Every structure is written in C-alpha cells, then in structure tokens.
C-alpha cells in the first residue's frame, strides 16, 4: 500500500510505501504515530472534521493505492456504481476543505463517503485501544461472532431483516388502527353527517357561476325592464303617445329613395345600407320584445336563488373553495368512513398476517441461532489456540447464548466469558479481564476474523497496552506470523514487536521556524538497532542497550525463519 498525506494535523506532507509483512511504526510519545493511522481511518470513510486541516491551509489531502486480493468483488461493486475499474489497482482519496465541500474519489472519480466505506471493508481492518470497550459490549460480541461465521449467515440474516422490518410495518398499521371506540363512533357519526350534507345539496358543475349570474339579473330586474322597454319603444314607436319610432322614419326614408336610387349609384348605395339597417333593427326589436315578455319579477325565485347560494357558501366554508373541492372532500370522507367501518376486519387480517410473519421469523432466527452456536464452539477452540500463542495457555474462553426479543439481527444475545487462571469461574470479560488480557483477546479475535474475511491489511494501533516481558515476545511473534499471510501495520512501544518488523518506520515531531511537523523515516539496519536500543533504555544509548538490540534483531530473524 502506497500512502500519501498532505496538510493533515501536524503533517505537512509525507509519502509512505508499506511493504508486505509486518510494518512497524515507532517513535517517542506525542510524535504523531496515531495521526498517521487516523488519516488512514478517515480515508477509509471515518467522519472528517475541518479541525484536522493543518493551520493556515485551505484543505487536507489523503490518498492510498492498493492492490487488493479481492479486486474482483471491489470492481463488481464499482461497475454497478458506474465507476471505472482497474484490473489490479485501486486508488482512494479524500480531500477535506475548510468550506466543508469535501471531495471523495475512487480511481479519480468523485464518489460519496459511504461508497468509500463500502469498498474499504475489503481492504483494511483497524484495531485501536478504543476497541477494548467494544469487546465488552454484548451487541459487539455478537457482531464479532457473525464476522467469524462469514458468508454462511448472510442469506439467513437478510431474510430475518426483511421479516423484522415487515413486522414493524404491520405494527405501525396496527397502531394506526388502535383508536378509542368512543372516538371512533364519534368520527363515524361526523363523517356520515358531512357526506349526507354534501349529498343532499346535489351540487352541479358550474352551478355556482350560473346562480351568481341569475342573482345579478334578478336584483337588477327593474333597470333591465326599463332599458329594454325604452329601446323597443325607440325602435317601434308608441301609438298611444304618438311617438314615431326609428323604424318608421327609416321606412319613410326608403320610400323617398325608392324613385331616386336609379338616378345615381351613390343614392342606390344609401338605399341598400338603409334597407339592411331596417331589417337588423326589425330583428333587434323582435328579440327585445321576446326578452321583455320573459322578464317577470318573481320574489320566490329570488329567494330560492339566494338560499341556494347561501347553502353553497356554507359548504364552501366547511369543505372547499370550489364545488370540485367539495366533491373531492366528499370522496375522501367516504374512503375514511369505509376504512373505519372495515377496521375490525382489517385488524383481524393484520393480526393474522403478523402471526404468520412472526412464525416465519422465528423459523429463520432459530436456524441462524443454531448456526451461531455451532460456529461459537469452533470459535472457542480457535481462540483458545490463539491465546495459547499469546501466553494465555490455561485460559478458558466460552460464548454463552441467551434468547432476546426479536430484533433485526435475530434472537441471540451472546456474552464472552473468560477464566484466565485454573480453578477460577467463568466471568464476563468486563469483570475479570485486564487491559493486557483484553489486548491479547482482541488480537486473537482480529487475527481469526481477518483470516475468514480475507482483509488485505490489518492495523493495530498500540494494542500492546498493559503487555510486557514474555507476553510481549509472544504478541510480537503472533504479529509476525500474521504478517506472513497479509500486510500488518502496527504502532508500538514494545522493542519485542519492533524487532520482528519486516519494515520499520520511525516517526518524530520537529519544530522548524515556529511550526511543528511530524516526519516519518524508513530505518535501515543500523538505524533500527539504534531505535530499538532507545526503546529498551530510554533516550541515552549505551553499549549494553545497543548489544541487546543487536541480539533481539538476530533472534527475531531466526524466529521468523522458523515460521
């Protein structure tokens, strides 16, 4: 793995080529060893904060190039996501910006942080001191067991998840149906009243506009009658009042022009125009007469129109601004009424359906539980062997199952029990394990699970807490053995682990021009000797610590050849 970091925390810029086997990072306390692992953790999808950007810089950049063994699975995922895949190489990068517009890339293409997280599960497994507490948590213990089981559990877990979520959906529907009977009866009565009120109104499309128009006519009937009568009289005249109408005058004009129209074309044109006007006025007078005869003041009709409009206005206030909205409201209320009336039947159907799903859920949950229990026995044996390699030969490790309420991951609650010494009772890890023992147990678990999952790189961030002497040598040999199968990165304070390294890096913190920098160096054989001597004896190097460091390196090479 080639790793590059720029403007991250105390790091201005560094590039590291981690080799196959055991890569060890050492340095004085506070030099920034964990910053490097933190940068890698963020690259792999951990939450990024602008606080991590080096002071005075606009962005931090982290990049790593991998040659994964499971590149086939990764590329299948990338192709489905529309990302260009490389047959051998995978490049991940993250850029953290001060403006919060962070950039995540796979093979140079922009992706989401969750996509990087999905891919990283095939690449790296990071274990730090904080995971000691994770090891004490029951749900995390179940997750660790499931990791050991591997793919065999996936189909069962997926079906359990589907059934659990379906049961939750049914529970939500049942909760929605759980209405107080008195409240339900009141709602039914109200719905029936509202529906009946709208039905009784027998509303028609465009009725409101028609009624408003009719009301305008009825309330202005006197003025309409007056103008129509005057218009008709103006056209036809009035024999009783000796008023000559316009039409009579036009007839007189037509008679005068009758004998003269042939004398001049313009006179003929006047005659024709006047003749057309006469016929149009005649048609107009007929229409005015018919319209006038229909005009009749009807107080009852006016009252009916006003009552009808008042009814519609009342419905509008309650159910909608338009007749269409009122009708739509009626339809919704009819659906709600139908739902409430059919509620008892639906309640019975949902209850029966939930029982069937719960029965199926338990079928798969018990199959998964049986698989877990069988695999737990195998895991106990493997952990016992791993712990024996870590100088915990007499330790008894057991996984105890109890049944819990249905959940998304089944019905199993597990607890890791341990008896570190002969004759002691099995007790939960939280009550009996020391920090050193927890480190060794987690190392054993991570070793086993990584082997099952085929993760390419294992990272151990100061897992040697509380460990020393003979146990430290055993832990060093264990890490070196793991390094024979996959890449291991380990931050350590133990010279025993450092001496087993296939590649040793030294990290230091320097101050230059009032700025602090974290630097990393690859150590050659002489430099390794000096660093291990420092780890053995402190700052002052002596001939004794140098000779001791030489012996440790020679012995480490011999032990690694035996593996």
| 171 inside domain | no
Question: Is residue 469 located within the same domain as residue 333?
Answer: no
Containing structural domain, residue 200: 183-341
Of 297, 325, 341, the last residue of a domain is 341
Question: Is residue 195 located within the same domain as residue 108?
Answer: no
pLDDT in tens, 89-138: 889 999 999 888 889 898 988 888 888 888 887 788 776 554 545 566 77
Enter the tokens of residue 54.
């080096």
Question: Is residue 241 located within the same domain as residue 336?
Answer: yes
Question: Is residue 217 located within the same domain as residue 109?
Answer: no
Please tell me the distance from the alpha carbon of residue 59 to that of residue 48, in angstroms, as a whole number: 12
Please tell me the distance from the alpha carbon of residue 547 to that of residue 553, in angstroms, as a whole number: 10
pLDDT of residue 114: 84
* Cβ atoms of 464 and 472 closer than 8 Å: yes
Q: What is the CA radius of gyration of the chain?
A: 46
Q: In residues, how long is the chain?
A: 563
Of 341, 368, 390, the last residue of a domain is 341
Please tell me the distance from the alpha carbon of residue 372 to that of residue 415, in angstroms, as a whole number: 13
| 362 inside domain | no
Place of tokens 């990764």: 74
Helix ranges restricted to H, 264-398: 265-294, 299-319, 323-341, 343-389
| 91 inside domain | yes
pLDDT in tens, 382-413: 888 888 877 778 888 899 999 999 999 999 99
Q: Specify the number of domains making up the chain.
A: 2
Question: Is residue 311 located within the same domain as residue 187?
Answer: yes
Question: Is residue 200 located within the same domain as residue 289?
Answer: yes
Please tell me the distance from the alpha carbon of residue 311 to that of residue 330, in angstroms, as a whole number: 16
CB count within 10 Å of CB 132 equals 20
Strands 59-66, 503-512: pairing is: unpaired
Question: Is residue 92 located within the same domain as residue 209?
Answer: no
**Percent of the chain at pLDDT exceeding 70:** 92
| 442 inside domain | no
**Percent of the chain at pLDDT exceeding 90:** 20
> HSE of 86 in the Cβ direction (CA atoms, 13 Å)?
14
What's the pTM value of the predicted model, to 2 decimals? Answer: 0.58
Nearest residue to 147 via CA among 452, 384, 495, 443: 452
Please tell me the distance from the alpha carbon of residue 153 to that of residue 372, in angstroms, as a whole number: 8
Of 308, 341, 374, the last residue of a domain is 341
- Cα-Cα-Cα-Cα dihedral of 251, 256, 258, 260, to 10°? -150
| 525 inside domain | yes
Please tell me the distance from the alpha carbon of residue 158 to that of residue 166, in angstroms, as a whole number: 12
CB count within 10 Å of CB 319 equals 20
Q: What is the pLDDT along the chain (563 residues), one digit of tens a residue?
A: 888 999 888 888 888 898 889 999 988 776 667 788 888 888 888 888 888 888 888 899 999 898 888 788 888 888 888 888 888 888 999 999 988 888 989 898 888 888 888 888 778 877 655 454 556 677 778 888 888 888 888 899 999 999 999 999 999 988 877 777 778 788 889 999 999 988 888 888 887 777 877 777 777 777 777 787 788 778 877 656 556 788 888 888 888 888 888 788 888 898 899 889 889 988 888 888 888 777 776 667 777 777 888 888 888 888 888 888 888 999 999 998 888 888 878 888 899 999 999 999 999 999 999 999 999 999 999 888 888 877 778 888 899 999 999 999 999 999 989 887 777 888 887 676 566 666 677 777 777 766 665 678 888 876 776 667 777 888 888 888 888 888 888 888 889 999 999 999 998 888 877 787 788 889 999 999 999 998 887 667 788 888 999 999 999 888 888 87
């Amino acid at each position: 793995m080639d790793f590059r970091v720029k403007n991250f925390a105390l790091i201005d810029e560094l590039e590291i080529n981690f080799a196959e086997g055991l890569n060890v990072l050492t340095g004085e306390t506070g030099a920034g060893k964990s910053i490097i692992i933190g940068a890698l953790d963020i690259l792999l999808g951990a939450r990024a904060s602008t606080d991590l950007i080096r002071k005075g810089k606009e962005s931090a950049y982290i990049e790593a190039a991998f040659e994964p063994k499971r590149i086939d699975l990764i590329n299948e995922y990338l192709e489905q996501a529309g990302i260009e895949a490389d047959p051998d190489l995978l490049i991940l990068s993250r850029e953290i910006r001060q403006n919060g517009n962070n950039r995540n890339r796979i093979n140079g293409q922009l992706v989401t942080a969750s996509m990087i997280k999905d891919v990283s599960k095939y690449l790296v497994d990071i274990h730090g001191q904080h995971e000691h507490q994770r090891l004490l948590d029951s749900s995390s213990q179940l997750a660790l067991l499931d990791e050991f089981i591997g793919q065999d559990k996936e189909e069962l877990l997926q079906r359990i998840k589907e059934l659990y979520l379906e049961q939750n959906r049914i529970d939500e529907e049942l909760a929605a149906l759980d209405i107080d009977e008195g409240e339900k009866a009141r709602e039914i009565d109200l719905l029936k009243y509202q529906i009946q009120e709208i039905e009784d109104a027998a509303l028609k499309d465009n009725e409101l506009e028609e009624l408003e128009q009719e009301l305008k006519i009825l309330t202005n009937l006197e003025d309409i009658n007056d103008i129509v009568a005057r218009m008709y009289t103006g056209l036809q005249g009035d024999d009783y009042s000796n008023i000559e109408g316009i039409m009579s005058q036009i007839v007189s004009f037509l008679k005068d022009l009758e004998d003269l129209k042939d004398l001049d074309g313009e006179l003929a044109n006047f005659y024709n125009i006047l003749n057309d006007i006469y016929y149009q006025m005649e048609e107009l007078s007929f229409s005015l007469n018919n319209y006038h005869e229909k005009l009749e003041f009807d107080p009852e009709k006016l009252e009916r129109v006003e009552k009808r409009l008042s009814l519609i206005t009342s419905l509008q206030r309650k159910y909608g601004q338009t007749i269409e909205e009122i009708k739509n409201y009626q339809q919704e209320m009819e659906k709600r009424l139908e739902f409430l009336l059919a509620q008892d039947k639906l309640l019975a159907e949902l209850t029966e359906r939930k029982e069937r799903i719960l029965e199926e859920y338990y079928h798969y949950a018990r199959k998964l539980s049986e698989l877990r229990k069988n695999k737990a026995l195998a895991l106990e044996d493997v952990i016992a062997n791993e712990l024996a390699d870590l100088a915990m030969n007499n330790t008894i490790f057991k996984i105890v199952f109890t049944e819990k309420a249905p959940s998304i991951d089944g019905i199993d609650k597990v607890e890791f029990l341990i008896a570190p010494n002969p004759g002691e009772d099995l007790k939960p890890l939280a009550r009996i394990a020391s920090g050193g023992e927890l480190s060794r147990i987690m190392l054993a678990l991570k070793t086993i699970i990584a082997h099952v999952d085929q993760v390419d790189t294992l990272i151990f961030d100061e897992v040697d807490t509380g460990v020393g002497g003979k146990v430290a040598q055993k832990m060093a040999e264990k890490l070196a053995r793991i390094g024979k199968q996959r890449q291991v990165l380990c931050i350590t304070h133990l010279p025993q682990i450092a001496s087993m390294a296939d590649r040793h890096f030294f990290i230091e913190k320097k101050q230059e021009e009032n700025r602090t920098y974290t630097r990393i160096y690859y150590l050659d054989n002489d430099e390794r000797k000096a660093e291990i001597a420092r780890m053995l004896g402190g700052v002052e190097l002596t001939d004794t610590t140098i000779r001791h460091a030489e012996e440790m390196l020679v012995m480490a090479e011999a032990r690694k050849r035996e593996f």
